Structure 1
Amino acid sequence: MLYKADESQLLNITVNEKEVMKFCIERIRELVKESEAEFVFWDTAELKKRTCMSWNTIQDTFFHDTRFVKRKVGGKWYFPAKETRAFLEQWLREQL
């Protein structure tokens, strides 16, 4: 690529696009692994954050779906992160 700083100077920059792409793909893989490993389960606050829904909306839409895995421990609901993410992606695809 050539960039003109002014009329008397030219700056020549060579970028190995394959190496840049390789670096980007590897970094994306690392970030995905980090985000997947971040939580084993979600609580209601995390579920609301991840879905961008209020607790009432969650209860009115998918909470009572028999496919939605949840466990109440004491007075608190917990949701297995991996299964919950998969369910939510499927549930959203089903919405018209």
Structure 2
Amino acid sequence: MIEVNIDEKEVRKLFLEELKEHIKKVDAELLFWDTKELTKRTSMSLSTVQKEFFYDPRFPKRKVGGKWYFPAEKTKEFLLSWLDEQV
């Protein structure tokens, strides 16, 4: 008979490390966000985004043709700063 013991805390730790690594890889794949990705990542509607921070001069954005693009890393940095400023 074979008996296997599993340390649940260690399994959870390994799982969370792998998950974080996978999330980093997925995030690294996107250089730019479009409007759809921005609203998805912020969990805000486009009208809320426009009302809250879209017109903030610090918010990184570029319009190419008729479509808005947001550099992923700079946008994340801005959003974290913006959120800290909200009281």
Q: TM-score, normalised by structure 2?
A: 0.80
Instruction: Indicate how the Cα distance of structure 1 residues 18 and 45 shifts in structure 2: closer, same or farther if over 3 A, else same.
Output: closer
Q: Report the aligned-residue RMSD.
A: 2.1
Return the letter of the residue paired with 1:40: L
Displacement of 1:43 in angstroms is: 0.5
Q: Percent identity?
A: 55
- Structure 1 segments, 4+ long, off by >3 Å, are 16-19
Deviations 1:25-45 (A, max 9, x none): 430332222232131100111
Q: What are structure 2's unaligned runs of at least 5 residues?
A: none
More strand by share: 1
- Residue in 2 that maps onto 1:9: none
- Residue in 2 that maps onto 1:80: 71
- Residue in 2 that maps onto 1:34: 25
Distance 2:51 2:12 in 1: 43
Q: Which has the higher contact order (CA 8 A, sep 6+)?
A: 2
Instruction: Indicate how the Cα distance of structure 1 residues 89 and 23 shifts in structure 2: closer, same or farther if over 3 A, else same.
Output: same
* Residue pair 1:36, 1:82 contacting (<8 A) in 2 also: no
